[in-house]
Structure 1
Amino acid sequence: MTLAQTRTTIPEEAKREGLLAVIIARAVRWAAVTARVVVRWSRAVQGVVTPLGWSVVGGAVVALVVGYALGWVEFIAIGWGLVVLVAAASVWLVGRGASTIELVLPTPRVVVGEEAEARLIAANPGRQRFGGVQLEVPVGQQVVERVLPGLPRGGAVDEQFRIPTERRGIVRVGPARTVRADPIGLMRREIVWSQVVELHVHPRTVAIEALSTGFIRDLEGSPTRDLTASDIAFHALREYVPGDDRRFIHWKSSAKTGTFMVRQFEETRRSRLMVLLDIEPGAYTDDDEFELAVSTAASVGARAIRDARTVSFVVSGSSAARASRGGAMRELPTVSRDRLLDALCIVEREDEALMLPEVARSAAEGLPGVSLAFLVTGTARGIAPLRAAASRFPAGIDAIAVRCSPEGEASTRTIAGLTVFGIGYLEDLGALFARSASVA
């Protein structure tokens, strides 16, 4: 090969290599762009194309590939027919269907059995008329469906729908969403218009008039048998000993006896009430017993909060919570009546709940200054566990057990110093408390 031939061959090879590099680079860029388009398209159609729609799309692709590969006109016709069907279904998704839709909950809290409603306010401040749009609102485990009527420019519609309140708990309402779908069901497009709102369905409570008298005698504090050198409940006089506060010297008695005499007082403590709700499943025979127990405990706690008493509301803790946090009880908020009843909306029986005596012991250790404790449980909880739970409290704490039996007879008895109330109706609670307060 001559020098001239070599000079001619080298540029040609270089050109071919450069062209190949350009082709590869352009192919990579094209593949990257295609991948981005595919990802964006898949995100756009995610949740829009139904399973039936994906089946039709897949059938169209298979029919077209087989038809063109084998030259079968029938398959080609079927494939393009399915493509036209998918394209026609996509037309139904065009448009938003509304301008504004607002979900309003007029009353965020109701009592079991009370009527509750939510409002849907749809408005059309735009220029175009819309209507015939399907609207869906999840309500708990159900879905409320409505069809918005045609609204001209500046028009609005206000619709109400009922929220079930037969069961204590928290009902999640919303979000309100409009749905556009083709008649066959290939495409479905949802537009969310509002946030989720929650309706608290409180347990039923009754007024207890006698709770503030008889059981708790002093707003500021009740005198105890513990003696102290400084308080407000006078007990007796005694001789002065070094270290006593001279402000409490009783000068008239000192002048008579010739010896310094000082006042001695009974220590007073502010009354603190505790309500312990048993949530161990074995304590109740059915759901009605547990619901009556929740209402009973809620009535006592709500009355104590209304009377501005210091109150602690406790439910049984679980074995898992005890292992992780070292506590056998769980305390509910009592800063207000609504906060307490809101927390009781989600209290349910727990299979891992600890037994009542262990919970009482934990409450006695973690809540100092308790003077009166209510133990609320069901009829499946025997007297022996109730006495064992009451024995876990320190001396000086009065314990009252309330056993709930729907439609049972009201009863009061005292067993080894433990007062046991039996109630069959929530209204029995006030009468039993009034009777016991009058005797106290």
Structure 2
Amino acid sequence: MKLGIDVGGTNTDAVLLDGHAVLSSAKAPTSPDVTRGIVGAIQAAAGERDLSRIEAVLIGTTHFINAITQARGLAKVAAIRIATPPQTLPPMVDWPADLARALGRHVFVVRGGSQFDGRPLNPLDEDGAVAIWPRVPQTAAPQRTGTVADLPDGKVGPISHAYLTPCHIDDKRRIIDCSVQEWRVVTRTGTTYRVPQALVASDMSRDMRIAVSRDGRMLAYYSREAQAHVVRDLVSGAEVTSPVKVTEDQFDLGNQLVVSDDGRYLVFDPKVGSKKPGMLIDVRTGKSTTLPGKYETVTVKGGVVELVRYIKTDLWLMPVTGGGKPVRFDGVFINFSELAPDGRTVVAYDTKDRTKPVLTLLDAKTGRILRKVTVRGLAKPRGIFRISVWQSPSEVTVLTLDGGYSSYVVDVNTGKARHVADYSPKTMQDLTLPGTASGK
């Protein structure tokens, strides 16, 4: 015999089967604890039958889904995240507020973690302290007087990179404090400045991004005061506030920001890879153009927005005035570079090569694979984390992540890599390099 049980929101049904023949069935009210209703339905269906003859039990229930959606009668639980603190994104940040409250908001973080492909970021600290993560609204970091000066008005000079400072961990009190976070930029001459105008996170714990143009001249960020994005020309000292208002509740997890070399265009995507559309903003005219949510922006260069759709990989070189059409690639590729100086080549990472230091050159006009290049000279050749701007007709910039960030310039003809810089994840989060879409 087989026993089938269906636990519904109102009634629980039980049925006894012998092969395809229904021997008996019964219905009992679904109980708050589920178990009593199941037992009642089974007893009613079984009657005097010998239940030891049952060979299989099949049970289906909406009770779990109901418990989650109703957020009632749930036991208190603890959520422990294995991560590489300090992290900017609190556990349960995207959970419904009533569900998080019902479970008790007991959230902790322990050091450790790995990349999506299994590459270790940090080993699990089995003996280390577990930090309590306070579940309070994360607003912008209060600016504090310290050794790092504020970004001054006027001419500063191009920057080499930008980053978000980490949260502070108090190992004795086991508390993580993210109110100390702030955006910083580093000039090509090595001077570091804080950017107090740039909002770090919204009241809903949504991280806010900044973006740097390919030449390091333009800096874009979100201003809470203006409720809009601001573009600073760090060479001329000019500053423009976008006429297009963007409220803080429009930002979601995984939002993205891109700025063009001339600072005229911004791409704001509230949530990369979702159904939420992005927008191309002309900060001079205030014109806003909707971008399909399923596409992710790589760059805005030469009046063209480079858009990529993953899984079924498409590349769309869309003029800022609109038009163009996507080109389909035969394969699944990620981490696209900008368009090469030849106007038709892009470099990407084939998901089949995810643990290998291999770059794939693609024809942006036809979708053909041109060739694959094995990269030589990486400190830890386990794969490429990000591919970004071209430094010459044959050299592209790549970023690796294996315990720390390292940038290289790779010759796509020979595969030889030239080391450029290292960046410590202990002092830098959300590393933003020139020309790279922030938030990728």
Give the structure with the larger strand fraction.
Answer: 2
Same fold (TM over 0.5): no
After TM superposition, the score normalised by the length of structure 2 is 0.23
Give the structure with the larger helix fraction.
Answer: 1
After TM superposition, the score normalised by the length of structure 1 is 0.23
The one of the two structures with greater contact order (alpha-carbon pairs below 8 A, sep at least 6) is: 1
Between structure 1 and structure 2, the one with the greater Rg is 1
